[in-house]
Amino acid sequence: MTTTAVPAPISRLTEDEQLFADSVYEFADREIRPLVLDMDEHAKISKELIAKLFDLGIMAIEVPEAYNGAGASFFHSVLAVESLSRVDPSIGVFVDVQNTLFINALLRWGSEDIKKRYCPKLSVDTVGAYALSEAGSGSDAFALATRAVEKGDHFVLTGRKLWITNGNEADLFIVFANVNPDQGYRGITAFLVERGFPGFAVGKKEDKLGIRASSTCELLLEECRVPRANVLGEIGKGYKVAMETLNEGRIGIGAQMIGLSQGALDHTLAYVKERKQFGRPIGDFQAVQHQIARAATELEAARLMVYNSARLRDAGKPFLTEAAMCKVFSSEVAERVTSLAINLFGGNGYVKEYPVEKLWRDAKIGQIYEGTSNLQLQTIAKQLLG
């Protein structure tokens, strides 16, 4: 299995940002890489590794230091996801959901009481998950059927969620339910649900093509009682929580895709220098060089798009179009780069003993979750056409 011990240079970063990205990659190379094949085969993240991720401080990057978090920026979350995904995109998305979806939503929409109760836990040992999708509510996110009935000081939630990332590891969930179906999406409300709440259960875990170590589960809510104090944001404003958070989450998926692509390129560059045919390394052949050059060029363009979107977000400037663009493009680049890697590895690229087969499987999800490519293109066109 080909590995790359030395981080590839990442330009356009400050010295501190570069040191942060390098330190996360060095951790991934040392602590995650030896576990990748086993975690993929058994479709499970090591509990010991999760504890190490918390110890490293990357499970609560934007949480203020007052709550034991790192107190860093959204851009640092993007760098962490990218660096982890160079080694294992499953761990990249595990950290991504925790930061760009769950914690991001909680910090923006949570009351002071919610932040005081949950942020310290999220900084130390509690994993979060974001539960929006349902059987009939995927791309059409506002068609969700989960219901919430108000009963005094609490709500009763009933429904079934599907495709929930981190579902197996999480102890805290942002669950979207409709308190007033007659008002359509204006009845959607976000709730913080603890795993131990009566009526809540984690159901089937999906057996997936790629990012297999990352759990994807169904959630079952059967008259689940949720305290009124656990409403995230305002009642009936859950659609706003969902859409604005997903816009930021798409940048995180872009980071996963460029990290994954860099990992595939790392392995490919090492392999074409070692693999010999016709008496010389295959990297000496111009046809191979040109393919690698094009892949590196596309990856550089994708990275710039992801970084630009994250910078815009941190600067408080509009980034909806840029986020959609970076997700579409980076996911397409990831599919092309990993496919090229398999081609250049030849027969070795098609077997699990070598790492690029897994990265190719991992890449496909980038065009599907957190808004399909078609939906991203629709968003871009709508913005361009006014």
| Cβ-contact 295, 336 below 8 angstroms | yes
Q: Is 62 a catalytic residue?
A: no
Catalytic: which of 169, 248, 298, 370?
370
State how far the alpha carbon of 5 is from the alpha carbons of 25, 86, 270, 373, in Å. 9, 11, 11, 33
| Catalytic sites, residue numbers | 370
